[in-house]
Structure 1
Amino acid sequence: MVSRLQSIRNPLRVLTALFLAFVLVGCQTGGGPIAIGGPRVSGQSVDVAMLLPLSGAGGDALLARSLESAARLAAADVAGSATIEITVYDTAGDAATAAARAQEAVSAGADVIVGPLRSDATAAVGVAVANSNVSVLSFSNNTGVAGGNVLIMGYTFANTADRIVSFAARRGQSNIVLVHASNLAGQVARDAVRGAAARSGATISATIPYEFSQVGVVNVVPQVTEAVRNNSASAVLLTSDSAGALPLFAQLLPENGLDTGTVQLMGLTRWDIPPATLQFSGLQGGWFTLPDSGAAAQFNARYAAANGGQPHALAGLGYDAIRAVSQAAGSGRLSAGDFVSAGQVDGAGGAFRFLSNGTIERALAVAQIVDQQVSVIDPAPRRLGGAGF
């Protein structure tokens, strides 16, 4: 879990860690080649074991219920093509418990596992059921646990970096100063941005790490503005989120001489979650990515109608997992390779597909903050072509 920074002057105390997509934990499984030839699905019925932290700490239990509700909504949507039977197993938010529940599910005849939530539990589950060839569709976004029988569903730094950096390069904002925390999440984000820059032709003219603390952010701000000036940079890319260092950077960079009217601010995380983030004056005009707004609005409305309330920000991952299971089941098998070969899936947040290394590519829009509102300036593509966008 990412710890929060307390911003000076406390500009918006309502900022909370609602957006949990970047739950990067240091458990790695190596990301080897995906598995081929999983168990054959019997008839048109698919038994899905859903591993969720129903009794987990903090907000995990609430998220678990929302993921389950979204998954059941998807199961109803695909009922005409396949019967999806969902059995939920409580992981209690514990990796060892998740592994035990996964083995229990496989023994009970599960065709595929959906979940668990975090990467440490995902790594444990992947190992626990490796010999069964049962695929695991994890809600993690940690690409380090993908591969073998594990595919990840979360929004990854690599995917987001490719979208925002390639867009910036096309817009002529290709000389970028990259600012990241000196922790695991920050290092993964740094590497993702560097890879995206290499693929798009952009230049990372300076990479500036900072200690993940209030003092660390305050101390690094002059280095950022100096790097922009010394390298004639056209953009600054911040990897932090609203629950971390972003509010501080939004306040301090303009106060320390960064002209956001001439230097483009960009983010690797959602700047519209929570919505209060949009109020920061320092982020006005900034760019970030988000899912297809049309698809997301339709999903949110249908979820609310079925469940009497709005979904959690990550609930769409549960919906997407079941849609992917239904589409892959058409091949008669549900190995990781079958999920890849099934191609594009239309999900709660737009189109997505699994890649051959077990990671995921999602169609993302680029948005800009204009007058404290979200304005989509480059819509999410409806089709994923070639090797990327």
Structure 2
Amino acid sequence: MVESGMSPKMAESVVERQDNALRRRRLLRGMATLALGGLLAACQVVPKSGGPAAPPPPENPDETVGPGLPTDTDRHRVALLVPQTGANADVGTAIANATTLALLDTRADKVRITTYDTALGAAAAARQAVADGNRLILGPLLSEDVTAVAPVARAAKVPVLSFSNDSGVAGNGVFILGFVPGQSVERVVAFARGKGHQRFGALVPKNVYGDRAAAAFRDAVREAGGTLVAVETYDRTATALTGAARRLANGGAMDAVLIADVGGNAIRAVPIVKGAGSKQILGTELWNTDASLGSNAAMRGAWFASVSDGLYGQLATKYRARYGKAPYRLASLGYDSVLLTVRIARDWKPGTAFPVNRLLAADGFGGIDGIFRFNNRGIAVRALEVSEVGAGGFRVVDPAPAKW
């Protein structure tokens, strides 16, 4: 695990790596201290009668000596659970790096973040985080990891602020920050309806994302007063995709079609879906990072809804300057989770339980991805903008609201 904190006297975040197995061996041998990166982590062993004298008390009265990480009396313990090894290590590392940037940018001196590797076992990482005295968990990233972490955190009364976009894992102490597909679908359908489009169809993959996008699409069309003509699903193969696109094109007259898939699959499907007719193509937040869409003439003029990229561009520039490469788009979730934590920490007494009710503030929170607030299900509701695909990139045609 990696630990970082920030004080006004520090120009860099503090990084502390601890070997749990080594710590346990030293505990059994009665050794008292282990110092890494300038931070003290110690364990105390009570001697048997007639044995050696107990070690002296710590010089710093603000840190209590005991097994595990030091217990601060003036800083909040916050755990970051992300993959640092395995297939998703690069994404997890980008999120962790972004949290460090947020600590530096906010000059937060009351928050100490320790990173735990979920690739080694999400439940085990959560148990260690709880044992180390963390009062809030940021992450994990994958929905299956959230499912593993949730009961551990719930038993310890530690809330989870996950980076997942799976609304199915939210609730009962779990809040999700990820970009939920349903919100993007609702936003772009409402915009299209406002522009006069009446008859809607959709092309969605057969997976969890597609299922939720399709459900949101049906609700959005109904709420907007439109007419649902057809929804076609497909396995994510080229043959299945083109077959579904042909079925949709022949499925009845429609003037707006949603393609709830990545840009590459949209490019394959759009010429077939449009056929000889003139249809408005709609997309989701999955298109946000695909700058190649405009190179395909059939995609030009398509609309999609997503979080604003204005501030993210600044974060990406700063990230490249510090780490020498571009971040993953999800890095913004790590940054914004720290901004949220720092804001709440102003009125959160160190050593006490995290004030969960503060997450439900009506005015919500702001960050790299714009404003958002949590609903009573624990899902981040985001202010989204609508963009149009053009030959030179994306153009915002309906900005995200600046306040609720």
- Please say whether Structure 1 and Structure 2 have the same fold, judged by a TM-score greater than 0.5: yes
**Residue 138 (structure 1) shift:** 0.9
Cα separation, 2, equivalents of 1:376 and 1:191:
26
CA contact (8 A) 2:384 2:401 kept: yes
Which among 250, 253, 258 is matched to residue 237 of structure 1? 258
Which among 75, 97, 106 is matched to residue 69 of structure 1? 97
CA contact (8 A) 2:203 2:248 kept: yes
Which among 82, 88, 92 is matched to residue 115 of structure 2? 88
Q: Counterpart amino acid of 2:124?
A: A
Q: 1:285 to 1:44 in 2, by over 3 A?
A: farther
CA contact (8 A) 2:111 2:345 kept: no
**Residue 347 (structure 1) shift:** 1.1
**Residue 67 (structure 1) shift:** 0.5
Q: 1:207 to 1:158 in 2, by over 3 A?
A: same
**Residue 198 (structure 1) shift:** 3.1
Which among 269, 293, 296 is matched to residue 277 of structure 1? 293
CA contact (8 A) 1:327 1:342 kept: no
Q: Could you say which residue in structure 2 is the equivalent of 1:379?
A: 399
**Residue 197 (structure 1) shift:** 2.5
Cα separation, 1, equivalents of 2:125 and 2:258:
41
Q: Alignment identity in percent? A: 30
Q: Counterpart amino acid of 1:198?
A: R
CA contact (8 A) 2:256 2:280 kept: yes
Q: Could you say which residue in structure 1 is the equivalent of 2:106?
A: 78
Q: Counterpart amino acid of 2:371?
A: A
**Residue 43 (structure 1) shift:** 6.7
Query: Aligned pair 1:252/2:272, yes or no?
Result: yes
- After superposition, give the CA deviation of every residue in 1:193-251 in whole Å (9 maximum; x if it has no partner): 22223333333222222233222112222221122xx3x322001111135x3232134
Q: Could you say which residue in structure 1 is the equivalent of 2:218?
A: 194
Q: Could you say which residue in structure 2 is the equivalent of 1:222?
A: 246
**Residue 164 (structure 1) shift:** 0.9
Q: What are the equivalent positions in structure 2 for 1:140-155 lying under 5 Å apart? A: 140-155=164-179
**Residue 151 (structure 1) shift:** 0.7
Q: CA RMSD in A?
A: 2.1
Cα separation, 2, equivalents of 1:131 and 1:251:
52
Q: Could you say which residue in structure 2 is the equivalent of 1:267?
A: 283
Q: Could you say which residue in structure 2 is the equivalent of 1:34?
A: none
CA contact (8 A) 1:286 1:368 kept: yes
Cα separation, 2, equivalents of 1:117 and 1:156:
13
Q: 1:215 to 1:301 in 2, by over 3 A?
A: same
Q: What are the equivalent positions in structure 2 for 1:25-36 lying under 5 Å apart? A: none
Cα separation, 1, equivalents of 2:126 and 2:337:
17
Q: Counterpart amino acid of 2:326?
A: Q
Q: Which contiguous aligned blocks of 4+ residues in structure 1 show a shift greater than 6 angstroms?
A: none
Cα separation, 1, equivalents of 2:356 and 2:242:
45
Query: Aligned pair 1:319/2:335, yes or no?
Result: yes
Cα separation, 1, equivalents of 2:162 and 2:186:
22
**Residue 360 (structure 1) shift:** 0.8
Cα separation, 1, equivalents of 2:228 and 2:103:
44
Structure of greater Rg: 2
Cα separation, 2, equivalents of 1:64 and 1:222:
39
Query: Aligned pair 1:51/2:62, yes or no?
Result: no
Greater alpha carbon shift after TM alignment, 270-279 vs 347-356: 270-279
Q: Counterpart amino acid of 1:352?
A: F
**Residue 187 (structure 1) shift:** 1.1
Q: Counterpart amino acid of 1:240?
A: D
Cα separation, 2, equivalents of 1:263 and 1:77:
45
CA contact (8 A) 2:199 2:226 kept: yes
Cα separation, 2, equivalents of 1:195 and 1:184:
17
Which among 184, 196, 200 is matched to residue 160 of structure 1? 184
Greater alpha carbon shift after TM alignment, 139-148 vs 374-383: 374-383
Q: 1:151 to 1:258 in 2, by over 3 A?
A: farther
Cα separation, 1, equivalents of 2:318 and 2:188:
29
SS in 1 for 2:263: coil
Gaps of 5+ in 1: 1-40
Greater alpha carbon shift after TM alignment, 189-198 vs 133-142: 189-198
Q: Could you say which residue in structure 1 is the equivalent of 2:160?
A: 136
Q: Could you say which residue in structure 1 is the equivalent of 2:30?
A: none
Q: Could you say which residue in structure 1 is the equivalent of 2:44?
A: none
Which among 319, 327, 349 is matched to residue 369 of structure 2? 349
**TM-score normalised according to structure 1 size:** 0.79
